Amino acid sequence: MAINSYFIYSKFENKIFLTLYNISNTGKIPICFIKISSLKLLFHYALKTLFTQRHTKNF
């Protein structure tokens, strides 16, 4: 089964949140909710996600 996932970035009360969504036939399903404290970590997660998606297309 192919997994299409992406992060939604949002700021709330000076905290940065990343939500990992899975796209399926039924629509958007949030799978994972990560609170991070800095933009440095945001870029770390973004790069990690891009790298992971590039190399793991199927589960």
pLDDT, position 2? 43
> What torsion, rounded to 10 degrees, do the Cα atoms 21, 48, 36, 58 define?
20
Q: How confident is the model at residue 51 (pLDDT cuts 50, 70, 90)?
A: low
Contacting residues for 19 by C-beta, under 8 A, at least 6 apart: 7, 8, 10, 30, 32, 33, 34
pLDDT, position 14? 54
Q: Residue holding tokens 């039924």?
A: 26
Task: Give whole-number Cα distances, 22 to 2, 4, 46, 52, in Å.
Answer: 10, 6, 16, 14
Judge residue 27's burial from the number of C-beta atoms within 10 Å of its C-beta, 0-12 exposed, 13-18 middle, 19 or more buried.
Answer: exposed
pTM: 0.25
